[in-house]
Amino acid sequence: MPLPRIAIVGRPNVGKSSLLNMIARERVSIVDPTPGVTRDRVSAVVELHGPLRTEPARLVEVVDTGGFGVYTAQGARFNEIGEDLSRLSGPIEAQIEHAVRTSDLILFVTDAQAGVTALDEAFAQALRERVSGAAAKVVPVANKVDADRWEAHALEASALGFGEPLMVSAQTKNLRRAFLDRLYGLVPESAEGRDADPAMRLAIVGKRNAGKSTLVNTLAREERVIVSEIAGTTRDAVDVRFEMDGRTLVAIDTAGLRKRARLPNRVEWFAQQRAVQSIDRADVALLMLDATQRVSKVEKTLSSQIAERYKPCVIVVNKWDLAEGRPGRTGRAVTAEHYRGYLAEALPGVARAPIAFVSALQGTGVREAVAVAFDLFEQGRQRVPTSRLNDVFEAILAQRGPTSRLGRQAKILYVAQVATSPPTIVLKVNDERLFTPQYERYLLNRLAEMTPFEEVPVRLLIRGRERERPGAKAGARRR
């Protein structure tokens, strides 16, 4: 059964994203005074605690939405290259509509300091029409009550027809505890004891217009995020929960990356940061490429960031239906084998990553790509017994040990796997200087051949024998 859902709605710049971040106790949504920062439905699974310690925690999904009337009622209608962002108004309001229709509780947010505006009243009327006869309950929230003097102004929201508002300042946290206590009481009791942890988290990263949002919608089997020809439509890192083969998964849709020198404002900078951070919190990264375009510097940088974080990676070649069989750069018809060879040269940092050829729009190859990602996830969770690792390293050194100009022979004193996800192997040797970066790469390649970690990155920690410090007593060891 799905978690009870709380939708946060209202006009632009009333603090909806700040409210989500306050409830979630982390920065989930990007907060900026620029109208239209939030476009998609941004959600977080949150554990709410009651006023009394004896009360059980309740799990809910809280959904942030775009501002009603954005781009048509406020400024910032055109982006940095002159594209008319008002074309996004319809999709944004469709996302609001979906959030309202599928939520158990609706928080209608207004700005206590600005007072009730004509746009608030228009949205209140639209909201009454949308929830008429529905089970969802609308609760007004007067935000930006930064001090006691704003409480009288906050009560103006009662005129919208949904009762007396809850008061809070999401930015300064004034009245936060009282607000959360009231919210706990409004959540259905059936929310207790639900499991919110997905089986796997997938970060979908790539440059602009590679098809990331289309892939997410295909996985979710609904228009979960906005797909538009306008570059940079996605800004937040949007977590989308979906089920496949009886397992709950989370796909993280991210902003399309581009060169830092081309970022026009801080909203774009925050969007880029969230995209990179999504790699950190994912179990597997899907590096999405456009088969009709050459691999760019941005994608090479992304592959390096994935490798540096030791994340399993699936290279997802999108729009393959538009590229396969067409003349390539050499004039020959493009085939999967030719493209694999091209990627091996273009993205050496993820050379062992499996490649999935898909059409996100048509849905072909998508399930197979997720299945490959799950295989990588399971690979990274494997443990190899110490006895097996000893045999592996002894065989590798017997076949080809590190060379030394001093004629010293490398010896392995101890080896063990100390962690999973990523698999982390500690190798204690007589002299770590013998194990050069070049030889370390050789070890990693052989480990991929001789262990279950064929396609996932391995963190190899090489430690030398501890030596006595000058002047130390016999038997004393460095700590």
Report whether pLDDT(115) > 70.
Answer: yes
Report whether pLDDT(470) > 60.
Answer: no
Indicate the SS3 state at residue 225.
coil
Q: Which CATH architecture has domain 5-191?
A: 3-Layer(aba) Sandwich (3.40)
The kind and range of the H/E element at 152 are helix 151-154
- Torsion-angle region of 430 (φ positive above 0: left; ψ -120 to 50: alpha; else: beta): alpha
Report whether pLDDT(173) > 90.
Answer: yes
User: Hey, what long-range contacts does 414-420 have (CB within 8 A, 24 or more apart)?
Assistant: 415/386, 415/389, 415/390, 416/386, 416/389, 417/383, 417/384, 417/386, 417/389, 419/459, 420/380, 420/381, 420/382, 420/383
Average pLDDT rounded to a whole number, residues 178-189 = 90
Give the span between the Cα atoms of 71 and 69, in whole angstroms: 7
Confidence of residue 216 (pLDDT cuts 50, 70, 90): confident
Report whether pLDDT(280) > 80.
Answer: yes
Higher pLDDT: 474 or 412? It is 412
DSSP-derived letter for residue 455 is S
Average pLDDT rounded to a whole number, residues 400-423 = 86
**Equal CATH topology for 5-191 and 200-380:** yes
Beta partners for residue 244, in sequence order:
247
Indicate the SS3 state at residue 284.
strand
Confidence of residue 291 (pLDDT cuts 50, 70, 90): very high
Give the other-Cβ count within 10 Å of 270's Cβ: 20
The kind and range of the H/E element at 184 are helix 176-186
> Are the CB atoms for 155 and 164 separated by under 8 Å?
yes
Q: How many CA atoms lie within 13 A of 171 on its CB side?
A: 16
Give φ, ψ of 271 to 5 degrees.
-60, -40
In this predicted structure, which of 15-19, 225-229, 450-454, 465-469 has the lowest mean pLDDT?
Answer: 225-229
| Percent of all residues in the chain with a pLDDT value above 90, rounded to a whole number | 45
Q: Render pLDDT for 452-464 as a digit per residue (tens, 0 to 9).
A: 999 999 999 999 8
- Looking at domain 200-380, its CATH superfamily turns out to be P-loop containing nucleotide triphosphate hydrolases (3.40.50.300)
Average pLDDT rounded to a whole number, residues 239-258 = 80
pLDDT at 40: 57
Beta partners for residue 359, in sequence order:
364
Burial track 99-120 (b if 16+ CB lie within 10 A, e otherwise):
bbeebbbbbbbbbbeeebeebb
Q: What is the CATH number of domain 386-464?
A: 3.30.300.20
pLDDT at 332: 81
pLDDT at 36: 45
Confidence of residue 225 (pLDDT cuts 50, 70, 90): low
Beta partners for residue 63, in sequence order:
7, 43
In this predicted structure, which of 69-73, 200-204, 421-425, 450-454 has the lowest mean pLDDT?
Answer: 69-73
> Domain limits of the chain?
5-191, 200-380, 386-464
Give φ, ψ of 478 to 5 degrees.
-70, 140
